Amino acid sequence: RPASAALAFDADNYPMNHEKIESPKDTPYFIDNKFVQSEATQFIELHDPSTNNLVTRVPQSTDAELKAAVESAQKAFPAWKATSIMARQQIMFKFTQLIRENWDRLAASITLEQGKTFADAKGDVLRGLQVAEAACAIPQSMVGEVLEVAKDMETRAYREPLGVVAAICPFNFPAMIPLWSIPIATATGNCLILKPSERDPGAAMILAELAQKAGLPDGVLNIVHGAAKTVDFIIDEPAIKAISFVGSNRAGEYIFTRGSANGKRVQANLGAKNHAAILPDANKQHALNSIVGAAFGAAGQRCMALSTLVMVGETKEWLSELAESAKALNVNGGFEKGADLGPVISPQSKERIEKLIDSAEEEGATILLDGRGFKPEKYPNGNWVGPTIITNVKPHMKCYTEEIFGPVLVCLNVDTLDEAVDLINANEYGNGVAIFTKSGATATAFQKNIEAGQVGINVPIPVPLPMFSFTGNKKSIAGGGASYFYGKPGIQFYTQLKTVTSLWRSEDAISKAADVAMPTHS
Ligand code: NAD
């Protein structure tokens, strides 16, 4: 099938609007560098979140298709492992170039399937592209270690690929998160089976097409589809050596536990409840702009969204300005000019978010800005929730204990920085946090005492660039942070060390008798 079968619409003429697609096509799967229509009997309907019009049907890959993806990857692995690192690097260069050339097309598929605004979707692609660009340094990243450990004896440590590995992705970053795995897993010499979110696989399908055009051999990247059934296959298939998961705690803790019990390496980035502490000495304009952008951007569906505001001292007086700024945001179809945020992913998600707002009201909090029932005129059928600000929130309330994952900011008051730190540290999640202050001493104390893994000082969404790693903490990462995505730990995750100790000694220096004691290297 032509590459354009990757998308529900003609990939070369992607629509930049939310109009109804007359004859939606089923999403194919990708195996041996070809797009293939699934033999599935079960499909998951994918609707444009702005209109709820059908965009495509995503197959629940059949057992035979899943098995075939593994066999294809197993078949590809020996030759791919043996491919020189310089050749793999050239493919990465080409891949990054193609992503740049197809940037708008990737972003358009994200806006159509996921709902975020086109500008935000371009950022989604860029943050993934940066990981692919960093993977171009793979020859340097794979340099091993060597030490002369005794006379005539040296030990070398090599990094070797694992074999067949898998990635399971969430819906909220359809390009960035597949790109946390595709470049690093393949550049290190593995063959990757990727399962995009069944709610928006289009960007991953375009990435597969670009990887093929960049020169990844058949079977080095295969894409399968589906929900829990496909995940269970990945967890239990012995040929799959490692799993990279990003998503909710519910799915991720299960995948981590069962995958680890099956002897696989599992890295799993999970849910979040990110706090912003705002100090009275902060630059008010910068702090409020940052909080509004990070709370409501992408309709709050970012794992690093600032969903919780901790107002220290008199900053609670700034709430009305915050609400004015949030109210001014343009909630609209993602292709509309000037849209600040789009819809949430599904009607179920909208319902869940609205119920959490209801619960806050029932538990005695104040709904300062209410986005329930909001509908932009042009898109009455979308999954809309307008920016919502809940104040007078107490830590026991459901809106505080649960990840809302929508355009909802919950606000708590404290009197001191220490109280803010205690409150934030008592929360079980630890993905990201931000502080807004002009005091270096305050920021330093906060940075040292706070337990979240990614700290922003006057920076609202401190997601590290790929020369660092994505470093969540506590319940936001499985396995206590034993493995991080991208950066040096990303290379470590996709490789295993092999050490080789060798002795090269001249004949006349060889000892006459066997030595039976443990060598001491003296
Ligand atoms: P999700 O857990 O529902 O889905 C993620 C993946 O797991 C999907 O591919 C899905 O098919 C699969 N899945 C879902 N339920 C499953 C189950 N019961 N058994 C097996 N597999 C299952 O997550 P989502 O709604 O797509 O994404 C949003 C979540 O992801 C939020 O909690 C967000 O905080 C988190 N997230 C975390 C990070 C991070 O780096 N920490 C980044 C992005 C998103």
pLDDT tens digits, residue range 266-301? Answer: 999 999 999 999 999 999 999 999 999 999 999 999
Q: What is the pLDDT of residue 15?
A: 74
Structure tokens at 282: 């902060």
Per-residue pLDDT tens for 233-267? 999 999 999 999 999 999 999 999 999 999 999 99
Of 31, 34, 36, give the one whose Cα is nearest residue 67.
31
Q: Tell me, what's the pLDDT at 281?
A: 98
Tell me, what's the pLDDT at 13? 57
Catalytic status, residue 411: no
Q: Which of 19-28, 312-321, 413-422, 424-433 has the lowest mean pLDDT?
A: 19-28
| Mean pLDDT for all residues in the chain | 96
Q: What is the spatial distance between Cα 304 and Cα 290, in angstroms, rounded to a whole number?
A: 13
Q: Whose CA is nearest to atom 43 of ligand 1?
A: 303
Least confident of 177-181, 235-239, 315-319, 478-482: 478-482
Q: Is 272 in the pocket of ligand 1 (CB under 6 A)?
A: yes
| Segment holding 179, helix H or strand E | helix 178-187
The tokens of 417 are what? 């920085």
Report the distance separating Cα 69 and Cα 219, nearest Å: 8
State pLDDT tens for residues 63-109: 999 999 999 999 999 999 999 999 999 999 999 999 999 999 999 99
CA 73 to CA 84: how far, in whole Å? 18
Give the residue with greater pLDDT, 46 vs 521. 46
Beta bridge pairs of residue 312:
414
- Residue 206 sits at the vertex; the CA angle it makes with 213 and 81, to the nearest 5 degrees, is 50
Residue-level pLDDT at 521: 78
Q: Where are the beta strands (DSSP E) in 330-402?
A: 366-369, 388-391
Whether pLDDT at 6 is above 50: no
Cα(197) to centroid(ligand 1), Å: 8
Residue 302 makes CB contacts below 8 A (sequence gap 6+) with 172, 173, 294, 461
Helix (H, G, I), strand (E, B) or coil at 412: strand
- Measure 190 CA to ligand 1 centroid, in angstroms: 24
DSSP 12-63: GG--SS-PPPSSPPBPPEEETTEEE----S-EEEEE-TTT--EEEEEE---H
Instruction: Please give the pLDDT value at position 12.
Output: 57
Encoded amino acid at 404, one letter: I
Catalytic residue among 136, 191, 303, 411: 303
Backbone torsion region of residue 20, taken as left when φ is above 0, otherwise alpha when ψ lies between -120 and 50, otherwise beta: beta
Residue type, 17: N
User: Would the CB of 476 count as within 6 Å of ligand 1?
Assistant: yes
Say yes or no: CB of residue 470 within 6 Å of ligand 1.
Answer: yes
Cβ–Cβ under 8 Å, residues 152 and 201: no
Decide the pairing of beta strands 265-269 and 240-246: parallel
H/E segment holding residue 127:
helix 118-135
Is 9 a residue whose pLDDT tops 90? Answer: no
pLDDT tens readout for residues 329-354: 999 999 999 999 999 999 999 999 99
The CA 303 to ligand 1 mean position distance, Å, reads 10
pTM, rounded to two decimals = 0.97
Our answer on whether the CB atom of 169 is closer than 6 Å to any ligand 1 atom is: yes
